Structure 1
Amino acid sequence: MSTLTITLWDFSWYARTGPGEPFEDLDRAFDEAVARGYNTVRICAMPYLLFGSGLDTSALTFAPFGRGYGLGTRWYDLRASATLDGRAHLLALFEAARRHGCKVIVSSWEYQQSSSFLADPAWYEALRAVPPERRAGALAEALAGLVDFVAGHGLAEQIAFVELHNEVQASWLTEALPPGEPPVPGLRPYLEKALDAFKCRHPDVPATVNYAGVPHGELRGVPANIDVAVFHPYVYGVLDELVGTFALRDPSRPFPQERARRELLRPDAPDLAEWGPQQEWRTAATVVSPREVYLHDWCDPARFDRWLYDRYAAYRYGMDEKLRLWIEVAADWAAARDLPLVFGEGWVGYTPLRGTFEEGPVGAGICLDAVRHARDTGAWGTVVCSNAAPHHPMWDDVTLQVTANRIFTEGR
């Protein structure tokens, strides 16, 4: 089983296809990926939209959020609109993957943020209309339909495996759970039932779910019928201090506007209350908080980086240890079940588009250490970093990516 060197194309491979955007030309994107040592792309294949929603997907328009909203963030910085036929574009990606000798990890971000990139709320509304207890099953049926479609065009061999959904315990799938129930154990029966439904239709296609972090205290809740163990070890550390200090993910606390101005923001930044997209539903359609978007949009990236560097020494050992332990725990758990192990995302966390903490010497060192750990524990696949993709500045650091991918594949 050949190792998977993964570049994370998420929903950007369809949302970022307008003029001048990184996925305007899929063949060029694949050429660049292969030149950097990648052999696999991981995508949100929009399965529910294309094969479950019943919506007309022949002319999907993806558009910027308006007012400049999201342009300082990663993943949300659309700058040009594009209209495409969803199913035709899916086939185009698989055909390009075959031409370039690449595999595709088929996933869904739909219950996290994919629908926010569409110019109208139809996709978002269709997703939310599915009762929470039926969402995992609806995704399974849609994924099975997607595999039928791809197989019908002779492209099924490009599928490395399918994921029912991305980071299931950090998505709206948890709305199926009674209040207070731990998400990983609580979701297990829903996910197992959905995976069984997929396997009834496609028993030969490896299927799984994946998890934010390595839920080391809740691994009992991972479905028993997955075919691949997939985890996303974001260690955060010093970045957690920033997230907590500025209450970016805690709406119960006030946002410290004046402290943000003193320490992070550009002089021309509006107040948080004045910043938002043109269409309010698009904020509701993503799990990323408006505060985090605001801070990334309006921070001075150099000040943001300096804030992290100034405090990094106190976190360095802990971040290194957490990453190593998480990888080892994931590897041991997978080995005990004779499952291949994949790290489909990681390593530090969510930083502004022009921030260089993860692209700079500290972040690059973390990437190389993580890839070595993944290799040494026998992982089947890994990313160099979640930010190593055509829609991130790290894509330009060809040497880092080539080096990391060689470490993973040649030193085994």
Structure 2
Amino acid sequence: MAFEGWRQPVAIAMWDFSWLERRWPGAGYHDWGRALDELVERGYDAVRIDAFPHLVAADPARTWTLLPIWNQHDWGSPLPVQVQVQPALNEFIALCAARGVKVALSSWFREDTTDARRLIASGAGLGRVWTATLRSIEAAGLLDHILYVDLCNEWPDSDWAPYLYDPAVENPARLSRADPTVMGWTDEALAEVRTAYPIIPLCFSVSAELWSWSEQDVSGFDFLEPHVWMAHNQKTGFYAELGYDMTASMFDPAQYELLAREAPALYARDRDRWRAVLSGAVENVADWSRVAGRPLITTECWAIVNWKDGPGLDWAWIKELCEFGVGAALATGRWIGLATSNFCGPQFRGMWEDVAWHQRLTSQIRNTPTPPGGTS
């Protein structure tokens, strides 16, 4: 079984597609070596990144023009940006390896001007873009430094898995993971990659349908990667009480104005309530893990989905709630990998510069033993 023998969880950061897109001066990833040194200083021993597998499979050395998925959030580029995935991907993995940092691969299947992601036409095709990517890493002698592969971020959200949806339909209804078509894609993709690379742990990360897990077949997953927030789950009313619109927030600056004005105060008025919401969400996925017999890794978590540096956007309440979330997760004995938040990257200066906060939490993560048999 994958991860058998792990003695303690890994402290993992999410650098998504930012590691390659945000390379202009001041964007956080201009100097990968410096960013990784700072990651290690803060106590992280793994990082989850977008491997852009659809672009590697189409032409790894081509210069691709990526289009922004949003212009208000600080993940990725707010403007069109040119990238060349290889040899950059292997160079980045090698820099991680030199520092003892494991690399988890995922993909948000970023849109480029040719929309190459639409070439994926089946679950087997999804698997093949990943085997092509892993071969390019293996050819450089770097495969041993891969921690796991998440075949698609937040499966099967239409933002990240558009190849599942009709391109003629704007804002399609989200498909369920229990949908027979989605299940077919899931099984085919996992089988394709596992046949070629049987020792690499595989999953699809998820952020929705977390409370209906009993209806979902995850027997093909080596582990579960749920993304768990207080503010974004089926049992919370946080966004509704704020009047916050997640979809509009991608391009509407008024949504951050609303967050700055209202979110910290809403949390402070009833800390116990919002902590209970988060604790319930943590216990829910821990129950899923127990029933499924699969350990947990979470790289996007614990407070609120969207936040950034800016006037009135105070990090204090975010850090307080994330620290509570880390403790709640570790107490279950089900997690073998945890992030401290979805903001543990150098572009989020207000969070990143509190080195002591990161070190305290990553030390707690890495020094919590995994109970014998507790994750299977």
Q: Secondary structure at the match of 1:211?
A: coil
Q: Which residue in the other structure is 1:183 paired with?
A: 176
Asked if structure 2 preserves the Cα contact closer than 8 Å seen for 1:7 and 1:383, the reply is yes
Alpha-carbon offset, residue 152 of structure 1: 1.7
Q: Which residue in the other structure is 2:86 paired with?
A: 87
Q: Which residue in the other structure is 1:397 paired with?
A: 354
> In 2, distance between residues paired with 1:24 and 1:150?
22
Q: C-alpha deviations, 1:43-80, integer Å up to 9, x for none?
A: 111011111xx246333456879xxx82x42215558x
For residue 231 of structure 1, what is the amino acid of its counterpart? P
Alpha-carbon offset, residue 350 of structure 1: 3.0
Q: Secondary structure at the match of 1:205?
A: coil
Moved more, 34-43 or 140-149: 140-149
Q: Secondary structure at the match of 2:86?
A: helix
Q: Which residue in the other structure is 1:336 paired with?
A: 291
- Residues 3-402 of structure 1 correspond to what in structure 2 (within 5 A)? 3-51=9-57, 54-55=58-59, 57-61=61-65, 70=71, 72-76=72-76, 78=78, 83-110=82-109, 114-115=110-111, 121-122=113-114, 125-131=115-121, 134=122, 136-171=123-158, 173=161, 176=164, 183-186=176-179, 187-213=182-208, 215-236=210-231, 237=236, 239-241=238-240, 245=243, 248-249=245-246, 289=247, 291-295=248-252, 297-298=253-254, 301=257, 304-313=259-268, 316-354=271-309, 360-378=315-333, 379-393=335-349, 394-402=351-359
Share of identical aligned residues, percent? 22
For residue 375 of structure 1, what is the amino acid of its counterpart? L
Asked if structure 2 preserves the Cα contact closer than 8 Å seen for 1:106 and 1:162, the reply is yes
Q: Secondary structure at the match of 2:302?
A: coil
Asked if structure 2 preserves the Cα contact closer than 8 Å seen for 1:17 and 1:82, the reply is no
Alpha-carbon offset, residue 366 of structure 1: 0.9
Asked if structure 2 preserves the Cα contact closer than 8 Å seen for 1:8 and 1:383, the reply is yes
TM-score (norm 2): 0.83
Asked if structure 1 preserves the Cα contact closer than 8 Å seen for 2:21 and 2:83, the reply is no
Change (3 A) 1:400 1:74: same
Q: Which residue in the other structure is 2:3 paired with?
A: none
> In 1, distance between residues paired with 2:10 and 2:209?
20
For residue 345 of structure 2, what is the amino acid of its counterpart? A
Change (3 A) 1:358 1:170: farther
Change (3 A) 1:411 1:357: farther
For residue 206 of structure 1, what is the amino acid of its counterpart? P
Q: Which residue in the other structure is 1:269 paired with?
A: none
> In 1, distance between residues paired with 2:256 and 2:103?
36
> In 2, distance between residues paired with 1:333 and 1:356?
39
> In 1, distance between residues paired with 2:311 and 2:214?
33
Change (3 A) 1:355 1:385: farther
For residue 318 of structure 2, what is the amino acid of its counterpart? G
TM-score (norm 1): 0.76
Q: Number of aligned residue pairs: give it.
A: 349
Alpha-carbon offset, residue 323 of structure 1: 1.8
Q: C-alpha deviations, 1:134-179, integer Å up to 9, x for none?
A: 1x43221111111122112111111111011000032354774899
Asked if structure 2 preserves the Cα contact closer than 8 Å seen for 1:191 and 1:223, the reply is no
Whichever structure has more helix as a proportion of its residues is: 1
Query: Cα RMSD between the aligned structures?
Result: 2.9
Q: Which runs of 5+ in 1 are unaligned?
A: 250-288
Change (3 A) 1:374 1:358: farther
Alpha-carbon offset, residue 188 of structure 1: 2.3
Alpha-carbon offset, residue 194 of structure 1: 1.3
Q: C-alpha deviations, 1:14-48, integer Å up to 9, x for none?
A: 00112343111111111000000000010111011
Change (3 A) 1:24 1:76: closer
Max radius of gyration: which structure? 1
Change (3 A) 1:404 1:214: farther
Alpha-carbon offset, residue 397 of structure 1: 1.7
1:409 matched to 2:366:
yes
> In 2, distance between residues paired with 1:18 and 1:313?
37
Q: C-alpha deviations, 1:178-211, integer Å up to 9, x for none?
A: 9978612112232012101111111111111111
> In 1, distance between residues paired with 2:22 and 2:65?
11
Asked if structure 1 preserves the Cα contact closer than 8 Å seen for 2:21 and 2:77, the reply is no
Change (3 A) 1:222 1:24: farther
Asked if structure 2 preserves the Cα contact closer than 8 Å seen for 1:238 and 1:315, the reply is no
Asked if structure 1 preserves the Cα contact closer than 8 Å seen for 2:278 and 2:325, the reply is yes
Moved more, 99-108 or 339-348: 339-348
